[in-house]
Amino acid sequence: MIFTISKLTGHAGSRFGWAIIKDETVYEKMLTYLSMNTMGVSREAQLRALKLLDVVVEGDGKQIFQFAYSTMRDRWTRLKQIISKSKRFSLQKLSSEYCTFFKRQRDASPAYAWVKCEREEDKNCYEILEAAGINGREGRVYSADNRYVRLSLIRSQDDFEILINKLTNLVAKG
């Protein structure tokens, strides 16, 4: 398993990660590769990673995960509320699932939303959203139909609010 600070805390500039490797042969090959292809980890990156990890493990260490879950769940809920007012667009159906980390049932909190254009005449959903100033990824990039667009919900709060406003306006137009 490979881990990075950027995935854990959102600090992409840290460029710090680690791996858990069970196979000793794979470990030896990775060690050789890293020693030949990197010049080590800069002191700045080490200090930044240490400070970030100190914050992550404050208390019982679960606060950052609770914050991430709450943020993403709230974003998904808001997006669903907007799209549910439209007959033109729909979202993938997600249900709550058991979370082994928190040991309880949790509502959906996806990082990405699959928007589908439902109208017969809307053959390219990407173009429709793009015309409304909404950035997403074409469904065909993921071997899906052009009626689908993948929207990232992993963004700054300001960027998410802009996305929500643009979607609200698009849905209001019908």
Q: What is the pLDDT of residues 1-13, one digit of tens each?
A: 666 777 667 666 6
Closest CA to 88 of 143, 132, 135: 132
Indicate the burial class of 26 (C-beta count within 10 angstroms; 0-12, 13-18, 19 or more). exposed
Please give the pLDDT value at position 46.
Answer: 81
User: Domains in the chain, please, with CATH?
Assistant: 2-56 (no CATH), 63-173 (3.90.1150.10)
Specify the DSSP element, H or E, that contains 97: strand 97-99
| pLDDT score of 42 more than 90 | no
Is the model more confident about 60 or about 97?
A: 97
Distance of CA 15 to the CA centre of its chain: 18
The whole-number average pLDDT for the span 68-86 is 95
Angle at 140 between CA 132 and CA 85, to 5 degrees: 40
Helix axes of 63-83 and 157-173: crossing angle, nearest 10 degrees? 10
Provide the mean pLDDT of the chain. 88
Tell me the percentage of the chain whose pLDDT exceeds 70: 93
Does the pTM surpass 0.85? The reply is no
Indicate the burial class of 135 (C-beta count within 10 angstroms; 0-12, 13-18, 19 or more). middle
| pLDDT score of 37 more than 90 | no
Is the model more confident about 48 or about 80?
A: 80
